[in-house]
Amino acid sequence: MNTIGRLVVIVLFEGVDLLDVTGPPEVFSLARRETDEAAGYDVVLAAESTAPVTTAAGVRVLPDVTFDELSTRSVDTLVVPGAVEVDRQRRVRALTDPAVVARVKQLAGQTRRIASVCVGAHILAAAGLLDGKRATTHWSTTRQLADDHPAVEVDGDPIFIREGDVWTGAGISACLDLSLALIADDLGEDVALRVARQLVMYLKRPSGQSQFSVPLRHRSASRRVEDLRQYVLRHIGEPLTVADLAARAHVSDRQLTRIFKNELGTTPHAYVESARVEMARQQLEATDVTLERVASLCGFGTVDTLVRAFRRRLDTTPTEYRRRFRTRPGPERGGHGPARGLPEA
């Protein structure tokens, strides 16, 4: 097997998610096109044998090499995709074949960098590669990952997380963001941004960006909390203190906090901040309003408060976010014009 540039090995096994397997090679191939050949990547699909592997989508994929053929090779990047099963109640469970786990653990010893895609994090965890590390996975299996592997600090919000030479990505299209981040780490931001443009992605998303917008990720079974949630979205520019929300719900501050924790998994203050950051993201993506105006429209009050919230929630600044995600010239300039509200959930 002759390789040029960095050797990237993608683990292949029966029932694997198709996009997890095909997405990263497309991104890495574009990196080669955007640079000289020697600085690019050589991507191979590895399996137990070279027989066709049937993916979860029913599409059969041919491996390039066997695991045994890689036993003496130095691997630059090992990419581990995942597989799931869904029961009759539509509950999703990540699968971890012990044979695949053993192969990943073996290959990890000869690899510079390891990355999981989507529920592939469960395979890394089963191999002991995430112990003591912060990691993410697809939102539908975060509870399973935390329950099965208590030594792993599971964070189901970011689209990807880096812990030294171990990277974990959310699912499923976030495999593109993860691959772009790996390219940026190797070849620089400029190359990664050029690849993102070739993919018709509006630049690459920072790791701290959430898998969900606030209206999508918070659903409540309680009508009272749902009404409060909708009230927050409609009055995002107002103070919205815990006391105000508690009075509206006719409960004490302490009781409101307990209700939010039980039903939304967060505090009233944290929910309001998340909603304000979401509103600010929309303003930064689609309008030209100043940061001062964004802070005012979204209820932050000051630019400093806006910046701190962005750093806390997205691990970036409003200015950097706008530079990365600006989509089109907005109708509002110089801080004038009505705000574009959050979508109804």
pLDDT per residue over 59-111, tens digit each? 999 999 999 999 999 999 999 999 999 988 888 999 999 999 999 999 999 99
Q: What percent of the chain has pLDDT over 70?
A: 85
* Average pLDDT for 204-233: 64
Residue 230, amino acid: Q
Is the residue at 339 inside a domain? no
Q: Where on the phi/psi map is residue 188: left (φ > 0), alpha (ψ -120 to 50), or beta?
A: left
pLDDT at 36: 67
Is the residue at 72 inside a domain? yes
Is 155 in the same domain as 233? Answer: no
Is 67 in the same domain as 13? Answer: yes
Is 35 in the same domain as 171? Answer: yes
Q: What percent of the chain has pLDDT over 90?
A: 57
Domain count, the chain: 2
Is 186 in the same domain as 316? Answer: no
Is 33 in the same domain as 165? Answer: yes
Is 218's pLDDT higher than 70?
Answer: no
3-class DSSP state of 184: helix
Is 144 in the same domain as 229? Answer: no
* Average pLDDT for 37-47: 83
Is 88 in the same domain as 186? Answer: yes
Sign (positive or negative) of CA dihedral 304, 310, 316, 317:
negative
- pLDDT one-digit tens code per residue, 274-321: 889 988 988 887 888 999 999 999 999 999 999 999 988 887 899 988
* Residues linked to residue 93 through DSSP beta bridges, in sequence order: 85
Write out the residue range of the structural domain in which residue 262 sits: 214-325
Determine the Cα–Cα distance for residues 52 and 106; give it in Å rounded to an integer.
Answer: 22
- pLDDT band with cut points at 50, 70 and 90 for residue 342: very low
Determine the Cα–Cα distance for residues 298 and 67; give it in Å rounded to an integer.
Answer: 53
3-class DSSP state of 94: strand
Contact 132, 163 (CB under 8 A): no
Counting runs of H as helices and runs of E as strands, what totals does the chain give? 14, 13
Is the residue at 57 inside a domain? yes
pLDDT at 287: 87
Q: Lowest-confidence range among 82-96, 101-115, 155-169, 189-203?
A: 189-203
pTM given for the model: 0.64
Is the residue at 337 inside a domain? no
Is 126 in the same domain as 234? Answer: no
- pLDDT band with cut points at 50, 70 and 90 for residue 345: very low
Q: What is the CA radius of gyration of the chain?
A: 22
Determine the Cα–Cα distance for residues 96 and 102; give it in Å rounded to an integer.
Answer: 10
The CATH number of residue 190's host domain is: 3.40.50.880
